[in-house]
A and B are shown apart, each in its own frame.
Chain A
Amino acid sequence: MEKKTLFDKVWDAHVVDTVENGPQILYIDKHLIHEVTSPQAFAELEERNIPVFRKDQIVATADHNVPTKDQHLPIQDLLSKKQVEMLTENCNKQGITLYGLGHPYQGIVHVMAPELGITQPGMTMVCGDSHTSTHGAFGTIAFGIGTSQVAQVFASQCLLLSKPKSMRITVNGKLKNGVLPKDVILYIIAKLGTNSGTGYFVEYAGDVFKDMTMEGRMTVCNMSIEMGARGGMIAPDETTFEYVKGREFAPEGDAFDQKVAYWKTLPTDEGATFDKEYEFDAADIEPMVTYGTNPGMGIKITDRIPEINDVSFEKSIKYMGFEKGEKLLGKPINYVFVGSCTNSRIEDFRTAAAYIKGKQKADNVTALIVPGSQQVAKQIKAEGLQDIFEAAGFEIRQSGCSACLGMNEDKIPAGEYCVSTSNRNFEGRQGPGARTILASPLVAVATAIAGKIVDVSKEIEEEELVIA
């Protein structure tokens, strides 16, 4: 029998038809939408008088452009207000489920769908957002699409696509204390480069991902797009099934057992081949930081910025205000952001709180904690984490994409550094002129406490804190 990869199995199960000498028609199980990339798609359908084909397979939330303060009040920014209102209007008109502002399920689209059990193994999922790759953590083919494609899925629940090539990235061994999933993916991107995955769908395999929680797997898959890959996947296993079980939209009873039996058939067959393979050793991975303006420009936190003679590299370093050969350790930092679809799940805040407990943030630092969803916010409170953050001087906001992309008021001032748990360090990403240093939640909060970048491994060693 033909040996298939996890990706092949899910893809092949969703091919409706193949266009001669052209793309395939791929069926989409779940379509997530938000306020920023959907209005033009709704307008497109309306102009052509085409109805939404499968409204029950669409779920909407407002996240990109919402304030993270006073969400019960009308949105102050009139353009943002209009965009959010338009989402409500479009969803109401089309009968699409919306978890809008104020709804107990509202949240960042890639935090909300997994925690509600909407995301399930073996599905195809799309959203007008490149970090849709997050859902691949469940063994799902999930990828970001443009607004024209949002309209195509509205109209037909399908997309025209050519099957991407396959890549497997294996990391075996055991991660060191204080090395988090975020460090693993920053390490991989730094090793392979920001466009190494273009044209590929990635499968992450090996001990490190097997041992990871679902939250950690989501962090890894989330950043697949930062190496250019459309998506990343991890084979579903008991950890996956346990996570999905009992969630709001997960199947129940016999239906769940039947699904699990199917999900167990999905992992890559032994002997299946990939177009490209990479292998790394967990022991080589340390806490990471980025020093440049794309996520591939990352180093171990104790390393020096490489000395590369290249115009684009130099432009990037200049923007960041760094010098070649310089260390980032000891750099004073005034802003810290813990949030985004990469790192705003409950586990991220548990890790952050474990480190922060009993400490105070440095006076020079403004530290923002932005939960990924209303449910995460509720959990932070219930578990007593909120008290720890507040006592340490961190500011807790309401859920949304916030300072990850600075569409709302949550911007980092020009010229300032922000150690951020988000996914992109592009020029101006967190506000015009802002300088982003990507890192794990642990590195971020350690920075907030010290007021500068510190070697977090040493810090936790001294305190005998076990964080993994």
Chain B
Amino acid sequence: MEKFEKLKSQAIPLPIENIDTDQIIPARFLKATNKVGFGENLFRDWRFNKDGSENESFVFNNNKYSGKILVAGDNFGCGSSREHAAWALTDYGFKVVISSYFADIFKGNALNNGLLPIQVSPETLKAVFNAIEENANTELIVNLEDQTFEVANTDIKESFDIDAYKKMCLINGYDDIDFLVSKREKIEAFEASRKF
């Protein structure tokens, strides 16, 4: 997993609530047996028209907006557990998703793929959308070590929560498998001690 420390980037705004993982990556694109290339079909049915042409009204197809940060409406990533949603977002180039609420499974999947989900207050989320709407070149600054998020050249700044262990994993590029494998002896002892 890639290490994550700091990021300064423009952002793409998607002010829609309850974006589910079926929108992030529709089920018909889950047939691959590896993790690469899912970015191509990220938000497939919103990005493209039925005939395969680009849907110009969708924000991803608007040249004004770019960046490694996705700013999305409340309850992002609800629905299916498909980790393909996290793979599609990272494959497309995103490093951070900002929302006022994340669904549990998506949040875990994102963290396991070096994609940082940052939960901000609904007021801050609104302020970020407004700032980007006013100026598409607005830059957002994320500092994982300090657990802070800010909008450059404004007074919009908030600290965010992250599990200390997960933070350590992201900063060092570690994942859970190595950690769990290192605990096998303890796991075997637990198995031997069980009554039921």
Chain A residues within 8 Å of B, Cβ to Cβ: 13, 16-17, 19, 21-23, 25, 27, 36-37, 39-40, 43-44, 48, 50, 53, 64-65, 77, 79-80, 82-83, 86, 122, 128-130, 144-149, 151-152, 155-160, 162, 164, 194-195, 198-199, 225, 228, 230, 259, 262, 294, 311-312, 315, 405-407, 414, 424, 426-429, 432-433
Contact = CB atoms under 8 A, between A and B. Distances in A.
A262 B195 CA distance: 10
A195 B31 contact: no
A130 B80 contact: yes
Contact of B180 (A128, A160, A312, A433): A160
B78 A149 contact: no
A40 B18 contact: no
Contact of A195 (B75, B81, B86, B184): B75
Interface stretch (B22-30, B56-64, B139-147, B149-157): B22-30
List the 4 shortest-distance A-B pairs measured between CB atoms, nearest first.
Answer: A22-B165, A156-B180, A146-B109, A146-B83
A21 B165 contact: yes
B175 interface: yes
A130 B105 CA distance: 8
B196 A195 contact: no
Interface of B: 15-18, 20, 22-23, 26-28, 30-35, 45, 50, 73-75, 78-84, 86, 101-105, 108-109, 112-113, 163-166, 175-177, 179-181, 183-184, 186-187, 190-191, 196
A433 B50 CA distance: 9
Contact of B79 (A21, A80, A155, A426): A426
Nearest to A43: B34
A315 B16 contact: yes
A158 B83 contact: no
B180 A25 contact: yes
A413 to B, nearest CB: 12
B33 A83 contact: yes
Contact of A23 (B16, B79, B165): B165
A86 B34 CA distance: 11
A37 B83 contact: yes
A40 B31 contact: no
Given A146-B82, A228-B75, 6 more contacts: A17-B190, A79-B31, A146-B86, A155-B181, A198-B75, A199-B104
A425 to B, nearest CB: 10
B175 A82 contact: no
A426 B82 CA distance: 15
Contact of A424 (B45, B79, B112, B175): B79
A225 B75 CA distance: 13
A322 B180 CA distance: 50
Given A25-B186, A156-B187, A194-B18, A426 B23 contact: yes
A151 B82 CA distance: 14
B196 A13 contact: yes
Contacts of A22: 163-166
Most buried by B among A17, A156, A294: A156
Contacts of B83: 37, 40, 128, 146-148
Contacts of A194: 18, 75, 78
Contact of B35 (A40, A294, A424): A40
B90 to A, nearest CB: 12
Given A25-B186, A194-B75, A146 B112 contact: yes
B176 to A, nearest CB: 5
Given A43-B34, A156-B183, A230 B105 contact: yes
